[in-house]
Homo-oligomer: A and B are copies of this chain.
Amino acid sequence: MTSEQRRIQPRKQPRQIRAELTRQRILTAAAHIFAEYGYAAGTTNRIAERARVSIGSLYQYYPNKDAILAELLTRHLDGDRATETLRAHKDRPDPLEDIIRVFVHTVIENHLDDPALLRIMLEQAPRSSELIERITQQEWEMIGDLRELLDRHPEARVNDKDTAARLVAYTVELTVHSLVAAPNSIDVTRLENELVAMITSYLRTER
């Protein structure tokens, strides 16, 4: 930032395709290593070895170990379509059950990619303030959208809408996360059906 910038290009772009490939190899290897060994035991040397790259190269692309997991997590969060799906459907005149189903379905899809890695990332990732904020923000977005759904949809009859929105968001995220990544994995279709049934009946029941 000291010298004048003539270009608007993002800094430090790789000049050769080779570099981009190496970077990608490191990331892929890291995903495998972290998923298999966990974060602490997933050493940078192991990652480099698996990527068939020297440890020096690894540190040319990532300033430290945390940064590798951070990028993996960022990519996952970027690929998360749950919030926008909910937002796109929450004002439609569809039956409540349909909206909930689309939402649940999207969350499940999001977890089917690499459950083991996802588990590591969410449970063992170093709690850097930046990433925490990122995740928290995404959570609250989802809760906010759910809250609006409860306010507007004619079928919704819950009393404590604030708590309900949080409960639903957490229930879906957590049960899907746990039951999909579980060693004794559940049938995904059944999970979706029951989850939708549970939430829908809850939201519709007057008390």
Contact = CB atoms under 8 A, between A and B. Distances in A.
Contact of A174 (B170, B187, B191): B170
B195 A198 contact: no
A198 B124 contact: no
A4 to B, nearest CB: 43
A194 interface: yes
10 pairs of A and B residues whose beta carbons are closest in the complex: A174-B174, A198-B202, A201-B205, A163-B190, A201-B201, A123-B123, A163-B194, A170-B175, A167-B194, A201-B202
A164 B174 CA distance: 15
A127 B123 CA distance: 13
A160 interface: yes
Given A197-B207, A202-B202, A171 B163 contact: no
Given A197-B205, A197-B207, A201-B201, 19 more contacts: A123-B123, A124-B124, A158-B194, A160-B194, A163-B186, A163-B187, A163-B190, A163-B194, A167-B179, A167-B198, A170-B178, A170-B179, A171-B198, A174-B178, A198-B198, A198-B199, A198-B202, A201-B205, A205-B205
